[in-house]
Amino acid sequence: MEQQTPMPPESTPPTGAPMHPQKHAKWIIIGALLLAIVIATLVFLYVFRGPVPEIPAEPVEQEDIAPLLEPEINSLEEVADFTVGRPVPDISAVRSPGWRTVNEHVIGNPDARISLVEYTDFGNRFARLLHPELMALVERNQDVNWAYRHFPVEEIKQSYPASSISECVWFLMDDDTPTFFFQYVLENSGLNPQTETDAEYRLGAYAMGVPPDELNDCLSQPWVERVVKDHKRLGIVQGNVSVTPTFMFYDNLNGETRVVPGVDTIEYFERVIAEMMQRPVED
């Protein structure tokens, strides 16, 4: 007897048969919904996107931004115009630990109530303007002395060498006489710090009577670099110094400290000192 091939159930369309119209419409609707979601997402991202940063046509050169970082000031009169209205700084949260450190350079009355501690580098032309005024201040005011601490900056080629040479001037001339160190500071601060060699700073030492061979021998001693770095480390740890010059006013009787970042006039410094002198002294 001839066998007949069983037929599939009527509910199952034969292979290759076209899809039912209702199912075909369902997939069209699903696809349309997905497309609408994608389009809506793209529109949302476009409308609410953040501002697109502008890319400069050419890179910014250092000389273009330098005036903003370091204004062109060449006289104390310009300093006064630039800093007019500056308020006396509040008492700092940092308590004065005492102003003496390794190889401390202090001029003026060693027992003065107020120690004006300066952190600076030899390339700073603002400090150079103020240094003669500071010297005159400590000479006429026995309540104030001036301590100079090194804070060389990496960006200036001769910053560290100049500080090291000044230490050797102090050591070789007379390490018990601070005037030799401060004479070197007054005469050699603010020289061109971006020169390729430290020749200008060496000439300053020779002019004061330091023999070249003795200077070379001193600069080779490990203690010189250590002192310079210790001064800078002290400024960072104790005073959070980040700019030069920074002046820290220490009250040696009650431990209060006030910080003046940047340069200002000697009249402003005298206002700060006068206010500190009026503060009560702790028992």
Q: What is the pLDDT of residues 98-146, one digit of tens each?
A: 656 678 899 999 899 999 999 999 988 888 889 999 999 999 999 999 9
Tokens 């004006």 locate to 116
The whole-number average pLDDT for the span 24-39 is 70
Q: Which residues pair with 194 in a beta bridge?
A: none
pLDDT at 173: 94
Q: In the structure encoding, which two tokens stand for residue 62, read together?
A: 């250092």
Q: Amino acid identity of 249?
A: F
CA 204, CA 188: separation in Å to the nearest integer? 7
**DSSP single-letter state for residue 58:** S
Task: Identify the band that residue 192 occupies on the pLDDT scale cut at 50, 70 and 90.
Answer: confident
pLDDT at 61: 40
Q: Which residues pair with 118 in a beta bridge?
A: 148, 247
Phi, psi for 52 (deg, rounded to 5): -85, 120
pLDDT at 91: 86
Phi, psi for 251 (deg, rounded to 5): -95, 110
The whole-number average pLDDT for the span 28-43 is 71
Task: Identify the band that residue 14 occupies on the pLDDT scale cut at 50, 70 and 90.
Answer: very low
The whole-number average pLDDT for the span 20-37 is 66
The terminus-to-terminus CA distance of the chain in angstroms comes to 128
Contact of 9 with 3, CB cutoff 8 Å: no
Phi, psi for 142 (deg, rounded to 5): -75, -5
**DSSP single-letter state for residue 110:** T
Tokens 């007897």 locate to 1
pLDDT tens sequence across 263-272: 889 999 999 9
Burial group, residue 117, by CB count within 10 angstroms (0-12, 13-18, 19+): buried
Q: What is the pTM of this model?
A: 0.71
CATH superfamily of 79-277: Glutaredoxin (3.40.30.10)
Contacts of 51 (CB under 8 A, 6+ apart): none
